[in-house]
Amino acid sequence: MPMRLFSIAGFSRRGVLAALAAALLLVAPPARADDLAVGAQKFVETLADDAIGALTQPNVPRDERINRFRTLFNDRFAVRAIGRHILGRHWRDTTPAQQEEYFTLFEDLMVVSYVDRFARYTGDKLTIVRTRADSDQYATVFSQFKADTGAKPVAVDWRIGKAKDRYFVMDVVVAGASMSGSLKSQFASIIKSSGNGIDGLLTELRQKTESLRAQ
């Protein structure tokens, strides 16, 4: 019996830019730590502005919002590295055909899971608290989402990687919980309980995505 797929909806505060994510192996020339931190912070600020500007406009058809978010997701997130990291040790058990289907379904799931939440955006503000350069290639941007309602701010930490002068989101940590870590655990549980290995996960992802598209 297929296991009920994870609840992504409960993992994000108002769903603003709570998109996934993971570990990316990047090869980049050495950079000054302070330059990396400044660049990573600017990247997160621009990502937030672009997402809100493109996805919260009224009267934009859902299909168009899906297309816009798909473009943003693929441009700013290390999608394949994230997806492979989440699959973990099960990656080596997949065939090339299964890998391609998995990446397609993973991308679809992330896009349709989050796109509708931008339509419900109520003006939460992203505030950068500080930025830390973890190495020549990685930085963590610590931020908070503050609601207009006066509710307690939600901590959102962005794990950013840099390669060839480009920045990518590798993971998002919401209120102390890693999104990539949560998805990795849930995917592994589905694979184990399905009795059908990676094909069981693909079936579950396909069903979940179709259900979300129909909403």
Domains, the chain:
9-205 (3.10.450.710)
Residue of 172, 186, 198 whose CA lies nearest to 22: 172
Per-residue model confidence (pLDDT) at position 171 = 96
Residue of 3, 19, 14 whose CA lies nearest to 201: 3
Between the CA of residue 127 and those of 41, 48, 145, 156, 172, what are the distances in Å? 11, 10, 6, 10, 15
Alpha-carbon gap, residue 154 to 36, rounded angstroms: 25
Two tokens, residue 13: 């505060």
Computed on alpha carbons and rounded to an integer, the radius of gyration of the chain in Å comes to: 17
Per-residue model confidence (pLDDT) at position 56 = 86
Alpha-carbon gap, residue 196 to 35, rounded angstroms: 47
Two tokens, residue 153: 């701010």
Alpha-carbon gap, residue 2 to 24, rounded angstroms: 30
Maximum CA pair distance of the chain? 52
Predicted TM-score of the model (pTM): 0.80
Two tokens, residue 10: 């409960």
Element (H, E) at 10: none
Per-residue model confidence (pLDDT) at position 18 = 42
Question: Which residues lie below 8 Å from residue 121, measured CB to CB, with a gap of 6+?
Answer: 14, 16, 52, 55, 56
Per-residue model confidence (pLDDT) at position 118 = 80
Mean pLDDT by 10 residues, the chain (215 residues): 45 40 38 82 95 87 93 96 96 96 96 83 86 94 86 93 94 94 96 93 95 84
Residue of 125, 133, 136, 127 whose CA lies nearest to 38: 133
